[in-house]
A and B are shown apart, each in its own frame.
Chain A
Amino acid sequence: MGMAPRPGRHLAIARTMFRYILNKFALIVPTIIGITLAAFAFVRLLPGDPILAMAGERGVSPERYAELLERFGYNRPIWVQYFDYISGVLHGDFGVSLATKRPVLGEFLTLFPATLELATVAMLLAIAIGIPAGIFAAVKRGSWFDQLTMGAALTGYSMPIFWWGLLLIIFFSGTLGWTPVSGRIGLQYFFPPHTGFMLIDSLISGKKGAFSSAVSHLILPAIVLATIPLAVIARQTRSAMLEVLGEDYVRTARAKGLSPRRVIGMHAFRNALIPVVTTIGLQVGTLMAGAILTETIFSWPGIGKWMIDSIGKRDYVVVQSGLLLIALIVMAVNLVVDLLYAVINPRIRVQ
């Protein structure tokens, strides 16, 4: 309106912003409590228990079973076990794996960088391809490109990950021999994991060919893990763009004689971005779920494979603490997305 903003207005914005953040945090506490309860209950609701899982076909005598139950503390009332778990977590003690006897937090921190690296690359891939494809499909609505992209997105969305991963391995690694089958880096490269991120470690190592080996190992799992988020992002971008392209201000911009590139890039896309950002935030959870299968196929030493193994062994401690740690990370990411969102879109803050 041509007026310089009054100093009070900044304060008001800061105050609503603060209230917004406070609201978000207020929600987090009950959510975390809910997650600890769910994680704790989930693994105990599964049939079987860690002692039987260890015993195998040999079986275990009732006396021995009782003795082990007591040693692990699983003969105590369930609520005592729960509070024991919670008080440990509150003191930063996530327990010791029943299977490997290593601290859960240590195992998590060792394995998490591999998952993070894979998930980050997969997400970047999904965004880099998904958003342009969605925009283009919206702009050329009804064209062969639109139909092809959306058909591919639907296929990608419904693709069973395990099958898709094997298919890629058989074709690209087996038939064509372009990419390695599995693992994170060629076995001849042996250097200490400084950061846990193979792309960085391979560069630090200074070994010739290490980085390109790491990249080549990352390609197939990243494609497999990116497939579902890519499909979701492309579809979301397309529908958000279609909605925005029908708005009055876009028509006005067109009527003003702006170039189509400017209309789409500046006016339409920036507004369409808001729901897309939300979608991307939500895909973090999907990535974690996808990581479980992707890591198992590609022998990727991350937390997805770790969780699956632990569920199979009924490793109560790893499952309950691992789920909690993963949930905390997903929540943190979603919180950051929410905050970013409020920054991008002032209307959110007011609500």
Chain B
Amino acid sequence: MIKKLTFAAALAAATALGGVAANAKTLVYCSEASPAGFDPSPWSGGNDFDASSRTIYSRLVEFEHGKTSLMPGLAESWTVSDDGLEYTFKLRPGVKFQTTDYFTPSRDLNADDVIFSFERQWKKESPWYSYLPGTGWEYFAGMGFPDLLKEIVKVDDLTVKFVLNKPEVAFLPDLGMDFASIVSKEYADQLEKAGNLQQFTQKPVGTGPFQFVDYQVDSVIRYAAWDGYFGGRQKIDDLIFAITPDPAVRAQKLKAGECNIMSYPAPADIAGLQADENLHVAEQEGLNIGYMAYNTTVAPFDKVEVRRALNMAVNKQAIIDAVYQGAGQAAVNPIPPTMWGYNKDIKDDPYDPESAKKMLDEAGVKDLSMKIWAMPVSRPYNPNAQRVAEMIQADYAKVGVKAEIVSYEWTEYRTRGKANDRDGAFQLGWTGDNGDPDNFLFLLGCEAIGQSNYAIWCNKEFEDLLQAGKKTTDQAERTKIYEKAQEVFKREAPWLTIAHSKVFMPMTKNVVGFEMDPLGIHRFDGVDIAE
């Protein structure tokens, strides 16, 4: 018995020590997945960005903390030529790259670093283009940069000019994205000379708030505040990512004090975390949309009246209550209300099964049976597509429409969903990545058919507005264009807009200064731990 007690006591002691040392200020973040690497540009996962671009690196322009508006970053100021083809950036002088035990910079940031950061993703002749086998620089290509960029010119050491092939209004916000992080050319040159290019992604060097210390694969990432950060040294000394893939386990770790803050709680755990008196659960409207796309090329869904009737048959509020458990709001437009350009005047199709039934009759639709596609995975914009499908199925039954629910493995699901002759209505969603309305509305563009336009909808009026929005630089002007585009969208109803979901971030009460980011990024600059 005594033996047992000492064992328990030893365990308890070990656990107490398992907390975080108190002398240095350490913030522990329970993250959801291992980063693929620490180069900010080749990868596209949110967890990759959290671990690389947002901690270690900075960009020419930055999103304001917790917002989608832009502010100067490594560029102090910039000018845009009247034709929208030339962007000239004045770099901030005296920006220091991090000094680590594997690299000591001999100079400050200059135009060479900026040019290198983009050309390595662009110019195939650079050894850095292919230093990671099979890398396609997905984000750089995905944002259309290879076609967009004509050249990047060094005007002087602290001035760099981007020349574009065509005007692109989202060019500045694009430069605030993770793939556009600025890396050190001097470090790259040094590694190239040593023939050790791989180290570039394993031991990163940037100009950001934290510098890299160590990574134990699939387990722990350690960072330290970078003393020379141009934005000022951080209040915390150490930042640790404790990689914890299971959301229920992350919640337990937070409760047990093994971390200070966690990402993506499971919906079922939120109430319990909110009830814990040591914790605070921050929440924010997500920059996202969960939707169900009709195949607008297949009868009877090619008829607007049928699509609108089906929209009116669905009790959205019931879905918000049951599936999103209140952590969401019914979506009216394809862009979320927190985004500029959102059209507040548009009214949602009312929930009205009677009228829906009548409209279907009038459209000559009888005994309709259709498929409802349900994603096999839980996503921020739709935590349980299967349940949503079941509720829509029940609603449809009330207006005499028979629906069958289908689902496939996640990548297969999207592949099949893109087929032009896809049978049925397809659930999916989107989370924005640069805060521009075009970053949502492009999903419905004619060019996106076969890629992300699951409604297979190509509407001339909408498309013209979309293209006009891309060419206009004035935000007030663009707002008008996008408001109109939303009207067209609502009138034509290619989607059932389901919900914009809330995003939660549980943390211990002593964490101060953490701002939830509408782009879903987890940033730890400016965070402190209260004594």
Contacts and interface: CB of A to CB of B under 8 A. Distances in A.
B415 interface: yes
Contacts of A47: 408-409, 411-412, 415
30 contacts: A47-B411, A47-B412, A47-B415, A54-B138, A61-B450, A71-B136, A110-B217, A111-B217, A166-B248, A166-B249, A178-B8, A178-B15, A180-B14, A181-B252, A182-B244, A182-B253, A187-B18, A187-B240, A188-B20, A190-B222, A193-B216, A212-B14, A213-B18, A216-B18, A297-B246, A297-B249, A298-B249, A299-B219, A299-B246, A309-B34
A180 B249 contact: no
B251 to A, nearest CB: 9
B271 interface: no
A305 B245 contact: yes
B451 interface: yes
A117 to B, nearest CB: 13
Contacts of A314: 411
B496 to A, nearest CB: 17
Interface string B162-183: 0000000000000000000000
A291 to B, nearest CB: 13
Given A101-B134, A178-B11, A54 B44 contact: yes
Contact of B429 (A57, A179, A180): A57
B222 A68 contact: no
B135 interface: yes
Nearest to A178: B11
B141 interface: yes
A200 to B, nearest CB: 15
Chain B binding surface SS class: mixed
B411 A53 contact: yes
Nearest to A68: B136
B218 A301 contact: yes
Interface string A288-313: 00000000111101100110010000
B409 A98 contact: no
Contact of A181 (B37, B253, B409, B428): B253
Residue of B34, B220, B249, B256 contacting most chain A CB atoms (<10 Å): B249
Interface stretch (A35-43, A76-84, A168-176): A168-176
B430 interface: yes
Contacts of B17: 186, 188, 209, 212-213
Given A57-B430, A181-B258, A48 B410 contact: yes
Nearest to B130: A71
Task: List the 9 closest pairs (A to B, CB-CB), nearest first.
Answer: A48-B411, A47-B412, A59-B451, A301-B218, A301-B219, A216-B14, A101-B132, A52-B411, A186-B18
Contacts of B44: 54, 56
Nearest to B379: A57
Interface string B36-54: 1100001010000000000
A54 B20 CA distance: 36
B429 A184 contact: no
B485 interface: no
Contact of B217 (A46, A107, A213): A107
A338 interface: no
Residue of A49, A216, A299, A305 contacting most chain B CB atoms (<10 Å): A299
A59 B414 contact: yes
A64 interface: yes
Interface string B10-36: 111111011111000010100001101
A21 B36 CA distance: 43
Contact of A46 (B11, B36, B214, B409): B409
A187 B220 contact: yes
A182 B14 CA distance: 13
B195 interface: no
A183 interface: yes
A314 to B, nearest CB: 7
B414 A216 contact: no
Contacts of A101: 36-37, 42, 132-135, 198, 201
Contacts of B142: 58
Given A68-B136, A181-B258, A190-B222, 9 more contacts: A48-B412, A59-B448, A101-B198, A180-B15, A188-B20, A215-B14, A297-B249, A301-B243, A306-B218
Contacts of A301: 216-219, 243
Contacts of B10: 212
A56 B429 CA distance: 11
Given A58-B142, A169-B252, A299-B245, A187 B28 contact: yes
Interface string B115-155: 00000000000000000111110100110000000000000
Residue of B216, B242, B258 contacting most chain A CB atoms (<10 Å): B216
Contacts of B68: none
Contacts of B42: 101
Residue of A46, A48, A72 contacting most chain B CB atoms (<10 Å): A48
Contacts of A299: 219, 242-246, 249
Contacts of A306: 218
Given A180-B256, A186-B18, A61 B411 contact: no
Nearest to A48: B411
A217 B244 CA distance: 14
Interface of B: 8, 10-15, 17-21, 26, 28, 33-34, 36-37, 42, 44, 132-136, 138, 141-142, 198, 201, 214, 216-220, 222, 240, 242-246, 248-249, 252-253, 255-256, 258, 408-412, 414-415, 418, 428-431, 448, 450-452
Contacts of B412: 47-48
A110 B246 CA distance: 22
A300 B380 CA distance: 25
Interface in A185-208: 186-188, 190, 193
A60 interface: yes
Interface string A59-102: 11110100110011000000000000000000000001011111
Residue of A59, A170, A181 contacting most chain B CB atoms (<10 Å): A181
A189 to B, nearest CB: 9
Contacts of A52: 411, 414-415
Interface string A95-127: 010111110000100110000000000000000
Contacts of A184: 219
A188 B429 CA distance: 40
A265 interface: no
A177 interface: yes
Contacts of A68: 136
A43 to B, nearest CB: 12
A296 B244 CA distance: 8
A179 B135 contact: no
Contact of A57 (B252, B256, B452): B452
A64 B134 CA distance: 13
A49 B411 contact: yes
Given A57-B429, A72-B134, A188-B21, A182 B249 contact: yes
A209 B18 CA distance: 9
A56 B409 CA distance: 13
B452 A59 contact: yes
Contacts of A72: 134
B135 A296 contact: no
A39 B154 CA distance: 51
